[in-house]
Amino acid sequence: MRPTIGVLALQGDFAEHLATLDRLGVAAREVRTARDLRSVDGLILPGGESTTIGRLLERFDLVEPIRARVQAGMPVWGTCAGLILLARDVDPETRARHQLVLGLIHAVVRRNAFGSQRESFECDLLVEPLGPPPIRAVFIRAPVVSAIGPTVEVLARLPDGTPVAVRQGNAIGTAFHPELTEDARFHAWFAALVECSSVGAA
């Protein structure tokens, strides 16, 4: 059976992720309930507003089901707000009063790390598993990773060394939005990871 990638579709730019997966010919579907989650082999948490998505995850009873699936090995990838949700903690200065984190990547993130001057910007970034050429990374009110644990691999850094893409085993987080560019290499890489893990689980 061909694996299916779920895209959490509660708030944020889930449609752009689905469109990119569709362009690649990867089977994908929206995830809104624990039942939807059971039918997917990998999950993308989109960009949006982490506090809103967090509240909706609670309201739709998805927090524990997502944690359990990822802890059991299901690949998960969070972009921007999705990275914040995957982290273990949010820098206290930038943490909202009600800020859910799933704690699936041993990292601390700082929200809206680029301030109002550079709320949104783009740059070329070398992403380790994709190799050259670099990808065009789009940052929108983006977080950065401010601390990582020993089990976390850095996949991409800004020129000043700040980590903006991280991986802890089957959990991946990017501060930028590959779904907003034409370059589908990051999605293709994630789809390959999902394929390997679902073959391993079969």
Closest separation in Å from C-beta 14 to ligand GLN: 11
Q: Is 10 in the site for ligand GLN (CB under 6 A)?
A: no
Q: Is 80 a catalytic residue?
A: yes
Per-residue HEC secondary structure of 75-112 comes to CEEEECHHHHHHEEEECCCCCCCCCCCCCCEEEEEECC
- Which position among 93, 98, 123, 179 bears the catalytic label? 179
Interface region with ligand GLN, contact rule CB under 6 A, candidates 1-9, 41-49, 70-78, 190-198: 41-49
Cα–Cα distance, 5 to 21 (Å, whole number): 8
Question: Under the criterion CB under 6 A, does residue 57 sit at the interface with ligand GLN?
Answer: no
* Main-chain phi, psi angles of 3, to 5 degrees: -70, 155
Q: Which two tokens stand for residue 95?
A: 């943490």
Phi/psi-derived region of residue 115, left when phi > 0, alpha when psi is between -120 and 50, beta in every other case: left
- Please, are residues 14 and 30 in contact by the beta-carbon 8 Å criterion? yes
Indicate which single residue of 111, 157, 167, 187 sits in contact with ligand GLN (rule: CB under 6 A).
Answer: 111
Neighbours of 66 (CB within 10 A): 23
CA–CA distances in Å: residue 90 to residues 75, 79, 162, 167, 196:
22, 15, 16, 17, 31
Q: Cα-flanking dihedrals φ and ψ of residue 109, to 5°?
A: -115, 150
Q: Is 179 a catalytic residue?
A: yes
**The only residue of 19, 27, 29, 49 in contact with ligand GLN, by rule CB under 6 A:** 49
| Binds ligand GLN by CB under 6 A, chosen from 6, 47, 173, 178 | 47
User: Which residues between 112 and 141 bind ligand GLN (CB under 6 A)?
Assistant: 112, 140-141
Q: Which of 10, 84, 127, 137 binds ligand GLN (CB under 6 A)?
A: 84
Q: Looking at 76-84, 128-136, 149-157, 160-168, which segment touches ligand GLN (CB under 6 A)?
A: 76-84
3: contact with ligand GLN by CB under 6 A: no
- State in angstroms the smallest separation of the CB of 158 from ligand GLN: 16
Check if 196 is active-site: no
| Exposed/middle/buried for residue 183 (C-beta within 10 Å: 0-12, 13-18, 19+) | middle
Which residues are tagged catalytic? Answer: 80, 177, 179
**Residue numbers at the binding site for ligand GLN (CB under 6 A):** 47-50, 80-81, 84, 111-112, 140-141
